[in-house]
Structure 1
Amino acid sequence: PSDGIAYPGSHLHFEIYPPYRTKDKLKFLAGTELGAGVFINDSLPEEKAAELRAVKVEL
């Protein structure tokens, strides 16, 4: 709240959405990656799920 009254608690929520780039484009670490210490993988969950389902495992 920004009305000047003190409140006992608050809630902060933010989401970071990575830019989707083509597979052959060179990628550089950006501010979100450097700040969080993680690398963002530019891929769709549906694509990776299909790749995992296609893996043949021999036991």
Structure 2
Amino acid sequence: NERIRTYNFSQNRVTDHRIDLTLYNLPTFIEGEIEDVVSALLANDLKERLSALE
């Protein structure tokens, strides 16, 4: 069982362990503003796909 995402309310932090991304805006993330995480996930996916072509 891999951790995907950790929410730390006392530190106002959300961490996505798949791409080692940590953001300090937990309330806005919980409210649905997830663009930063989605963008980072898409960039990581593109990077992995390009690496697979080499």
**Largest Rg, 1 or 2:** 1
Q: Specify which structure has the higher proportion of helix.
A: 2
Q: TM-score when scaled to structure 1? A: 0.24
Q: TM-score when scaled to structure 2? A: 0.25
Q: Specify which structure has the higher proportion of strand.
A: 2
Q: Of the two structures, which has the highest relative contact order with CA contacts closer than 8 Å and spacing of 6 or more?
A: 1
